Amino acid sequence: MGNLPTVPPAPSRTAGETSGDAVPAGPDVIRPRHVTPTRIDALAARIAEATGSAPEIHGDPTVAVTGACLRAQDIVAGELFAALPGANVHGADFAAVALECGAAAVLTDPDGVTRPAIARAGVPVLVHPQAREALGPASSLIFGDPTRRLAVLGVTGTSGKTTTSYLLEAALAAAGATTGLIGTVETRMRGRHVPSAFTTPEAPDLQALFAAMVEEGITHTAMEVSSHALSQARVGGTTFAVGAFTNLSAEHLDYHHTMEGYFEAKALLFDGRASAHVVCVDDTWGHRLATRADAVTVSATGQPADWTATGVHAHRDGTQTFHAQGPDGLDLPVTLRLPGAFNVANALVALACGAAAGLDPARLAAGFAQVQVPGRMQRVDVGQPFLAVVDYAHKPAAVEALLTTLRAQGTGRVLTVLGCGGDRDREKRPVMGALAAELSDLVWITDDNPRTEDPAAIRAAMLDGARTSDAARAKVTEQGDRRTAIRAAIAAARPGDVVVVAGKGHEPGQKVGAEVLPFSDVDEVHAALRSTMTDQSIPEDPA
Ligand SMILES: CC(=O)N[C@H]1[C@@H](OP(=O)(O)OP(=O)(O)OC[C@H]2O[C@@H](n3ccc(=O)[nH]c3=O)[C@H](O)[C@@H]2O)O[C@H](CO)[C@@H](O)[C@@H]1O[C@H](C)C(=O)N[C@@H](C)C(=O)N[C@H](CCC(=O)O)C(=O)O
Ligand SMILES: Nc1ncnc2c1ncn2[C@@H]1O[C@H](COP(=O)(O)OP(=O)(O)OP(=O)(O)O)[C@@H](O)[C@H]1O
Ligand SMILES: N[C@H](CCC[C@H](N)C(=O)O)C(=O)O
Ligand SMILES: [Mg+2]
């Protein structure tokens, strides 16, 4: 696996750097330089057209807005404040803050309009029963309907969105497009890299970003579309050139409650908002989706599909070569620098997306060879005689895919450092603990963004899964302190082993309570490797 990516860590931020904070993230929103003011009556007409019901207008309909935002504190003068009901609070309760920041108008729901801060607002108020659904189309109009001039290729699915989006961005560029990227790690365009607050931004931030991309001459954007975004209508008002589905497995059941509910959220990307669909049919959910959406199909596991892979050769150095077989007898050689059968699927999805957008498949396929993804199968190498890998696997299917891949590639043992996030799906914890114990030789159960939960209780749930699994084979150690766990794993490694630190990937911080403590798995693995090479005082292998 000598060629596993050794990319530098993503640019760091100190707060609100990934999705998942109780406090609104306050992201670095990329805004267009020019926005033509939009009148309230025009917004009302757009909302009526998009939702089928007209909003009430309280106040002067000729007032115009020059942007929109749903975080009161982040309002820029002249913008529309979207005061939405939330799981914790009603945004209308923050209207005074928004007005102080210069909000020129408010969009809210019938509950919000009764709140005192809105009643005293003194600016026009649009009232709609589905204010969240209204916000996407309104934001699109405010920012000049940017996706009419930008081909957006959206990727959804439980695993592989980030990886597929990076592959797609590279393929699009190789086929001659001027590209952008929107996703979990960062937003990229024209050499700018802005760390992300969300995998999929809120509707006004997203439309502003699309408008900025149009201004910059971006022609095609590869974009991750999360299930949260689909169910919260963050992509309302977005026209997709292509919508793609990678796979579905248990995750986010705290939010979607059932797999059916989770699937239906993902399926929203295929409800007519995309001009073309690409679906990987390697799981039963993909099969189901492909039968109800008119889709180009993809399979990396030998299912009948429009795009398949033949002659897959996983090389010892971590690269893979194969032939992508496409419609009309297309046969394209592909080289990937990402190991794992799942990355063949990701690449096929990316290829099918680019082709569905009308780009030349041979040029698309040639774009994959150098792609590396921050924190996904990222190798950390200081010349040690074993492999050290940082990966973002933080759900059962990803842990299984990751460890199965690494078992097949290493010559020695697999040493795994893994935790589970707090304030997230609890059901996955014992499953991830069990999988780690089944597919590794040594495991350190540690902390991964405990957020507001008791970290020991999260570890206990994982340990419970590890201890009760009949197939468990690893020696499992509990070590809450992630740095110590990483150091112990590195110190225990022997030549030919694989050490994998999973779950945080590119993340630059550990979320403990309301704080984000700077922490980078890549930096920690580097530091541990350097000190093992020079300092023999590191704790002994617990095995
Ligand atoms: C479950 C979820 O996605 N919740 C998001 C949602 O929260 P909510 O609607 O319940 O909001 P709330 O906190 O009750 O607040 C209500 C309203 O008041 C506003 N408000 C609130 C407080 C304040 O001080 N000022 C203010 O203006 C908020 O902007 C909001 O509009 O809207 C908020 C405002 O944008 C988000 O901060 C919040 O993200 C939370 C923190 C989160 O953790 N989201 C994650 C799970 C997420 O979206 N992840 C996906 C990726 C998942 C994956 O695939 O792995 C993503 O796309 O990033
Ligand atoms: N197609 C796939 N099937 C199963 N596991 C995958 C697949 N692609 C990637 N993985 C695993 O899942 C992890 C996360 O991958 P990636 O970041 O590309 O997915 P994602 O869908 O963007 O995840 P998230 O929703 O958390 O941002 C990887 O680090 C890898 O371990
Ligand atoms: N987008 C995911 C990232 C999870 C990453 C993992 N490190 C964790 O904190 O659980 C979420 O917010 O659920
Ligand atoms: Mg992602």
Which residue has a Cα nearest atom 11 of ligand 2? 398
Token pair listed for 498: 């694989």
The pick from 4, 158, 159, 353 for probing ligand 2's pocket by mutation, whose C-beta has the most ligand atoms within 8 angstroms, reads 159
| 268 Cα: distance to centroid of ligand 3 (angstroms) | 22
* Predicted complex ipTM: 0.96
Residue 408: its pLDDT value, please?
83
For the cut 70, the answer to whether the pLDDT of residue 26 exceeds it is no
- Is 158 assigned a ligand-binding role in the annotation? yes
Q: Is 504 in the pocket of ligand 3 (CB under 6 A)?
A: yes
Q: Is 163 in the pocket of ligand 2 (CB under 6 A)?
A: yes
Q: Is 465 in the pocket of ligand 3 (CB under 6 A)?
A: no
Give 125-183 pLDDT, tens digit per residue: 999 999 999 999 999 999 999 999 999 999 999 999 999 999 999 999 999 999 999 99
For the cut 50, the answer to whether the pLDDT of residue 542 exceeds it is no
Which residue has a Cα nearest atom 9 of ligand 2? 160
Which residue has a Cα nearest atom 8 of ligand 3? 421
Look up residue 530 and give its amino acid: R
Distance separating alpha carbons of residues 242 and 239, to the nearest angstrom = 9
Give 71-109 pLDDT, tens digit per residue: 999 999 999 999 999 999 999 999 999 999 999 999 999
User: Mean pLDDT across the stretch 111-128?
Assistant: 92
Q: Is 229 in the pocket of ligand 1 (CB under 6 A)?
A: yes
Distance separating alpha carbons of residues 41 and 534, to the nearest angstrom = 69
- Is 12 assigned a ligand-binding role in the annotation? no
Residues 6 or more apart from 386 whose CB is under 8 A from it?
A: 412, 493, 494, 495, 496, 497, 498, 499
Instruction: Give DSSP secondary structure letters for 511-542.
Output: EETTEEEE--HHHHHHHHHHHHHH-TTSPPP-
Residue 535: its pLDDT value, please?
58
Q: Please tell me the CATH superfamily of domain 146-366, with its number.
A: Mur-like, catalytic domain (3.40.1190.10)
How many other C-beta atoms lie within 10 A of the C-beta of residue 523?
Answer: 17
Q: Is 398 in the pocket of ligand 2 (CB under 6 A)?
A: yes
Q: What is the mean pLDDT of the chain?
A: 92
How many other C-beta atoms lie within 10 A of the C-beta of residue 452?
Answer: 11
Decide if domain 378-532 falls under CATH 3.40.190.80. no
Answer whether 0.90 is exceeded by the pTM.
yes
pLDDT band at 446 (very low <50, low <70, confident <90, very high): very high
Pick the atom of ligand 1 nearest to 251's CA.
55
| Region for 416 from its dihedrals, namely left if φ exceeds 0, alpha if ψ lies in -120 to 50, beta otherwise | beta
Domain spans, the chain: 23-142, 146-366, 378-532
Residue 27: its pLDDT value, please?
53
Give 247-288 pLDDT, tens digit per residue: 998 788 888 889 999 999 999 999 999 999 999 999 999 999
* CATH annotation of 23-142: 3.40.1390.10
Residue 365: its pLDDT value, please?
98
For the cut 50, the answer to whether the pLDDT of residue 4 exceeds it is no
**If you count them, how many residues does the chain have?**
543
How many other C-beta atoms lie within 10 A of the C-beta of residue 239?
Answer: 18
Which residue has a Cα nearest atom 4 of ligand 2? 398
| 537 Cα: distance to centroid of ligand 3 (angstroms) | 34
